[in-house]
Amino acid sequence: MRGMNAEIIAVGTEILLGQIVNTNAAYLSRKLAQIGINVYCHSTVGDNYGRLLMALDIGLSRSDIVITTGGLGPTVDDITLSVIAIAAYRKLEKNNELLNDIRKYFLRKGIKSMPKCAERQAYVPVNSTWFKNELGTAPGIFIKHNNKIIIALPGPPRELEPMFEDYVIPHMRKNGYIKDETIITRTIKTTGLVESAVNSKVRDLLLLSGDVTVGIYAHLGEVHLKITAKMRLNRDKKGLIRIEKEIRKRLSYYIYGVDSDSLEGVVGGLLIKKKKTLSIAESCTGGLVADRITNVSGSSSYFKMGVVAYSNEAKQNLLGVSNESLKKYGAVSAAIAKEMAEGVKKKAGTDVSLGITGIAGPTGGTKKKPVGLVYVSVIVGKKSKVREFRFTGTRQEIKHQTAIAALDMVRRVLEERWTKDEG
């Protein structure tokens, strides 16, 4: 079977009510992609016979594989297997081997008498394959129905994930449902350009179809490009590599990392590589940049000091900002950002320093200095750079964008990668 597609149905009223987050869908989508199976739909239904049966019927009409998660427990509202049996025109029958396995689970827990309600989990659809649950009592179920596949998995991720990897995938591979294909993704992360600007630079690549495609995803302060390549296992990745090289050529210094890279992690790596230390003086960000820097394990080797100087008095007393500059330029200005960076650099004795001042809002702005106006200064050795930014959004969003801009300035200074208009 080639080019199979799947969809995932999460079962549980608690998911619809937002009481729990459905992480199973993301996990299964990643794992299915790795074995060359496309996921086209995600849906969620409550613990309701009619709506779940309708979702299953729709899924079986358009997908090769339908995977349900949840609703396999011992209580009366756990209806998934009953509905699957109806959809697949099968009866539920007691499986004694499974029943013994459930009893052993309780014995391992020190419970000699299995709860009566747990026995209903030993009833599975006729002519189905069941998968052992190493961490619970709800089995997984595999049914072949009219050239379609139905897979039922328990809801708790700690039960679902090992079951899928240890039993479901091997079963599908053994029975020829998985071919020697895989889907590989590569996420290229950029900052410094809005989504429309990135789009204009790579528009033709976003229109690609076939085995290699490119998608664009906007995040606050960042834009990511995801390359997706479908290929046979153990084959070279020429198509993916070629597209990545083209994206790097076009976006150059706006790219800060790939896949799981974080901006603070990249900055930390550069500081280690260049054997430099960092100090930070923050006002409007309230320590957010220092927080991100110290989220990286090992940051104590390069991060020496963070100062949150919110008031003018703190800027003067802690960082040596001059009263004359505050009166002449105001606290939110290029001059003050630079003096803050100079002050913390002198106090900490670091190679690199940051100075950040701005108006996060929603109050405090004026026509001349509106909410979202931010100045960031970076000093490396005796060289310094100051940039003005104009951000929009809520107070938290402005702080978040400022932290990204500040970290990216450090990155670019260390990499010596700047656009012409940045000097």
Q: Look at residue 78 in the predicted model and tell me its pLDDT.
A: 93
Question: Which CATH number does the domain housing residue 110 bear?
Answer: 3.40.980.10
Whether the pLDDT of residue 223 is over 90: the answer is yes
Asked if 212 and 96 sit in the same domain, the reply is: no
Q: Counting Cβ atoms within 10 Å, is residue 61 exposed (0-12), middle (13-18) or buried (19+)?
A: exposed
| Structure tokens given for 159 | 């039960």
Asked if 23 and 160 sit in the same domain, the reply is: yes
Interatomic CA distance for residues 219 and 232, integer angstroms? 32
List pLDDT tens digits, range 158-214.
999 999 999 999 999 999 888 777 788 899 999 999 999 999 999 999 999 888 999
Asked if 151 and 205 sit in the same domain, the reply is: no
Question: Which CATH number does the domain housing residue 233 bear?
Answer: 3.30.70.2860
* HSE (side-chain half, CA atoms, 13 Å) at 342: 15
State percent of the chain over pLDDT 90: 87
Cβ atoms within 10 Å of 354's Cβ, excluding its own: 29
Asked if 107 and 141 sit in the same domain, the reply is: yes
List pLDDT tens digits, range 336-354.
999 999 999 999 999 999 9
Mean pLDDT of 1-18: 88
**Measured in whole angstroms, how far is the alpha carbon of residue 149 from the centre of its chain?**
29
Mean pLDDT of 323-347: 98
Q: Look at residue 235 in the predicted model and tell me its pLDDT.
A: 63
Whether the pLDDT of residue 417 is over 90: the answer is no
Could you identify the residue written with the tokens 């409550």?
46
**Measured in whole angstroms, how far is the alpha carbon of residue 30 from the centre of its chain?**
12
Cβ atoms within 10 Å of 173's Cβ, excluding its own: 13
What is the distance between the terminal CA atoms of the chain, rounded to a whole angstrom? 57
Question: Which of these three, 174, 190, 225, is where a domain ends?
Answer: 174
Q: Residue 232: which pLDDT band, with cuts at 50, 70 and 90? A: confident
Contact 419, 403 (CB under 8 A): no
Contact 74, 115 (CB under 8 A): yes
Question: Which of these three, 238, 258, 278, is where a domain ends?
Answer: 258
Whether the pLDDT of residue 1 is over 60: the answer is no
Asked if 162 and 311 sit in the same domain, the reply is: no
| Structure tokens given for 236 | 């070279």
Asked if 282 and 250 sit in the same domain, the reply is: no
List pLDDT tens digits, range 259-280.
999 999 999 999 999 999 999 9
Question: Which CATH number does the domain housing residue 415 bear?
Answer: 3.90.950.20
Asked if 268 and 233 sit in the same domain, the reply is: no
Q: Torsions phi, psi of 237, nearest 5? A: -110, 40
List pLDDT tens digits, range 32-41.
988 889 899 9
Question: Which of these three, 207, 237, 258, is where a domain ends?
Answer: 258
Q: Look at residue 270 in the predicted model and tell me its pLDDT.
A: 98
The 3-state secondary structure of the chain reads CCCCEEEEEEECHHHHCCCCCCCHHHHHHHHHHHCCCEEEEEEEECCCHHHHHHHHHHHHHHCCEEEEECCCCCCCCCCHHHHHHHHCCCCEEECHHHHHHHHHHHHHCCCCCCCHHHHHHHEEECCCEEECCCCCCCCEEEEEECCEEEEEECCCHHHHHHHHHHHHHHHHHHCCCCCCEEEEEEEEEECCCCHHHHHHHHHHHHCCCCCEEEEEEEECCEEEEEEEEEEECCCCCHHHHHHHHHHHHHHHHHEEEECCCCHHHHHHHHHHHCCCCEEEEECCCCCHHHHHHHCCCCHHHCEEEEEECCCHHHHHHHHCCCHHHHHHHCCCCHHHHHHHHHHHHHHHCCCEEEEEEECCCCCCCCCCCCCCEEEEEEEECCEEEEEEEECCCCHHHHHHHHHHHHHHHHHHHHHCCCCHHHC
Asked if 141 and 196 sit in the same domain, the reply is: no
Cβ atoms within 10 Å of 193's Cβ, excluding its own: 16
Cα torsion 257, 262, 263, 265 to 10°: value is -100
Q: Counting Cβ atoms within 10 Å, is residue 264 exposed (0-12), middle (13-18) or buried (19+)?
A: buried
Rg over CA atoms, the chain: 28
Count of domains for the chain: 3
The parent domain of residue 384 ranges over: 263-422
Q: Look at residue 376 in the predicted model and tell me its pLDDT.
A: 98
Mean pLDDT of 85-110: 94
Asked if 312 and 408 sit in the same domain, the reply is: yes
Whether the pLDDT of residue 420 is over 60: the answer is no
Interatomic CA distance for residues 280 and 299, integer angstroms? 13
Cβ atoms within 10 Å of 344's Cβ, excluding its own: 27
Asked if 210 and 114 sit in the same domain, the reply is: no
Interatomic CA distance for residues 396 and 256, integer angstroms? 23
List pLDDT tens digits, range 116-142.
999 999 999 999 999 999 999 999 999
Asked if 415 and 335 sit in the same domain, the reply is: yes
Whether the pLDDT of residue 419 is over 70: the answer is no
Whether the pLDDT of residue 2 is over 60: the answer is no
**Measured in whole angstroms, how far is the alpha carbon of residue 252 from the centre of its chain?**
23
Peptide bond into 157 cis (omega under 30): no
Mean pLDDT of 19-39: 93
Q: Look at residue 233 in the predicted model and tell me its pLDDT.
A: 61
Q: Counting Cβ atoms within 10 Å, is residue 421 exposed (0-12), middle (13-18) or buried (19+)?
A: exposed
Question: Which of 76, 95, 23, 80 is CA-nearest to residue 46?
Answer: 80
Interatomic CA distance for residues 376 and 399, integer angstroms? 12
Q: Look at residue 422 in the predicted model and tell me its pLDDT.
A: 57
Asked if 17 and 164 sit in the same domain, the reply is: yes
